[in-house]
């Protein structure tokens, strides 16, 4: 139960006062019920955890990237494991107008732009353990110039849609553009700075090769951004992406040799590229791997196409995954991309259990601390659950919170007893009360005496 001892690896990064406050806050978050707010924490923190103390903690500047890494390095790092770097955006809906960074961001759950805060998170994904651990969190804040630029582009697209459709072919006076000269938008610049900072931190301890991101980053600028960081990108292309085989015809008499050959039809891929066929529950899955070109990409892509066919209705659908690493095997590419979803579980736990959806702070420092604290609690809870999962593999976050809440009840009960009960009775009391409210029943030893 000594959370302060668990936080010793970060003691040189923060003051003793902040470290003590953090241990109080985490202890309260583990035991509390209801919304995870500063007021709720103060009610469960006990002695030394008043509302004013909690408030001081949230208004203290804390070096979270350093804290994440030191904690992970001490408690979660496995030197023999393989790690992927995963990145994704987490959108947190908020009301009001005073919260720092408040803007309209697209919510994947609601399928529309909503008033919210946006946090971009980098996580280390363990291939052996099949788990993701948040390692860096930064808020996305759009400047007034970016907002004005997006409005101009939106109006330009609207005006263009109202214009009559131009004739087929290349417009007169247009010039070739060098695909290698990519201008990164503010979003990609922000991500690149985060990735470079993280690579500088973990260098010498973890060798990162791949950055895995969702289909939003399945484009040429994102690929160039990742390659500039000396990493390979694993992502997803649109289902209607225009992919082409390498040109194999005769060389033209004039001009350079064409790069693009015949266009790839995902419904009629040559059998020579078929890697495996699986049939499960009436669904046939055919997996193809090939190297193809995309009109917008400078380099060839290692593409894996998964075609699923319903054997009864004959309806089919396909997914196109790709990587800039041309030597990556198809089964590893699929496995690595599927592991990307582990970061979504981090966001779910942070919102459901650790207050990412609940905090009501409005200043920049307080909002940063609230978001980072929520995702740091995801890592800390994984460390705490490792102890119990040795005996109970199904031990969950709800079981962990029920255990700590029961522990708190027993401690407060013992304090008011006129004399301390014998050790056997205290042990039985702890086992019974900490098992209350668990999702997975605890195995309780028989009481003797």
Pairwise pLDDT comparison (439 vs 209), residue with the higher score: 209
pLDDT for residue 444: 52
Is pLDDT of 448 > 60? Answer: no
Pairwise pLDDT comparison (119 vs 144), residue with the higher score: 119
pLDDT for residue 394: 86
Nearest to 229 by CA among 205, 185, 198, 202: 198
Rounded-to-integer distance, Cα 54 and Cα 48, Å? 9
Q: What's the Cα-to-Cα distance from 73 to each of 60, 133, 381, 410, rounded to whole Å?
A: 24, 11, 15, 33
Is pLDDT of 306 > 70? Answer: yes
pLDDT per residue as tens digits for the range 59-102: 999 999 999 999 999 999 998 999 999 999 999 999 888 899 99
Residues 6+ apart with CB under 8 A from 202: 69, 208
Indicate the DSSP class of residue 360: -
Give the ranges where 107-246 is alpha helix by DSSP (H): 144-162, 186-202, 220-228
Residue 1: band (very low, low, confident or very high) from pLDDT cuts 50, 70, 90: low
pLDDT for residue 180: 65
Is pLDDT of 301 > 90? Answer: yes
Coil, helix or strand at residue 144: helix
- The H or E element spanning position 196 is helix 186-202
Q: What is the mean pLDDT of the chain?
A: 89
Length of the chain counted residue by residue = 449
pTM of model > 0.85: yes
Could you tell me the end-to-end alpha-carbon distance of the chain, in angstroms, rounded to an integer? 27
Is pLDDT of 390 > 90? Answer: no
Residues 6+ apart with CB under 8 A from 305: 266, 269, 287, 288, 289, 290, 318, 319, 320, 321
pLDDT for residue 232: 96
Rounded-to-integer distance, Cα 243 and Cα 266, Å? 9
């Amino acid at each position: 139960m000594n959370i302060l001892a668990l936080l010793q690896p970060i003691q040189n990064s923060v003051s003793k006062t902040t470290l003590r406050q953090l241990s109080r806050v985490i202890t309260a978050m583990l035991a509390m019920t209801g919304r995870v707010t500063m007021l709720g924490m103060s009610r469960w923190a006990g002695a030394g955890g008043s509302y004013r103390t909690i408030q001081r903690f949230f208004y203290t500047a804390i070096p979270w990237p350093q804290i994440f890494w030191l904690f992970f390095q001490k408690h979660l790092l496995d030197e023999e494991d393989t790690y992927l770097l995963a990145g994704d955006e987490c959108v947190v809906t908020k009301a009001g107008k005073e919260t720092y960074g408040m803007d309209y961001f697209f919510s994947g759950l609601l399928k529309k732009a909503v008033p919210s805060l946006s946090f971009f998170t980098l996580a280390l994904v363990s291939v052996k353990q099949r788990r993701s651990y948040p390692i860096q969190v930064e808020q996305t804040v759009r400047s007034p110039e970016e907002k004005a630029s997006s409005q101009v582009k939106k109006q330009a697209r609207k005006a263009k849609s109202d214009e009559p459709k131009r004739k087929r072919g290349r417009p007169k006076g247009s010039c070739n553009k060098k695909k290698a000269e990519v201008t990164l938008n503010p979003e990609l610049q922000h991500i690149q700075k985060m990735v470079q900072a993280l690579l500088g931190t973990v260098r010498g301890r973890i060798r990162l090769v791949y950055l895995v991101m969702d289909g939003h980053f399945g484009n040429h600028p994102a690929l160039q951004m990742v390659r500039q960081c000396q990493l390979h990108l694993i992502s997803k292309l649109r289902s209607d992406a225009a992919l082409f085989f390498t040109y194999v015809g005769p060389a033209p008499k004039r001009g350079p040799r064409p790069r693009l050959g015949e266009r790839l039809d995902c419904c009629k891929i040559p059998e020579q590229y078929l890697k495996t066929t699986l049939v499960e529950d009436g669904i046939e899955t055919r997996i193809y791997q090939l190297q193809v070109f995309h009109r917008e990409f400078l380099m060839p892509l290692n593409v894996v196409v998964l075609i699923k066919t319903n054997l009864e209705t004959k309806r089919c659908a396909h997914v196109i995954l790709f990587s800039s690493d041309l030597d990556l095997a198809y089964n590893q590419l699929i496995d690595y991309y599927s592991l990307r979803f582990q970061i979504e579980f981090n966001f779910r736990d942070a919102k459901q259990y650790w207050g990412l959806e609940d905090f009501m702070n409005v200043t920049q420092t307080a909002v940063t601390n609230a978001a980072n604290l929520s995702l740091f609690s995801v890592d800390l809870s994984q460390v705490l659950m490792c102890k119990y999962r040795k005996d109970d593999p199904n031990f969950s976050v709800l079981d962990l919170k029920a255990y700590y809440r029961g522990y708190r009840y027993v401690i407060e009960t013992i304090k008011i007893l006129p004399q301390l009960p014998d050790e056997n009775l205290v042990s039985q009391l702890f086992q019974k009360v900490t098992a209350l409210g668990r999702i997975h029943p605890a195995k309780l030893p028989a009481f003797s005496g």
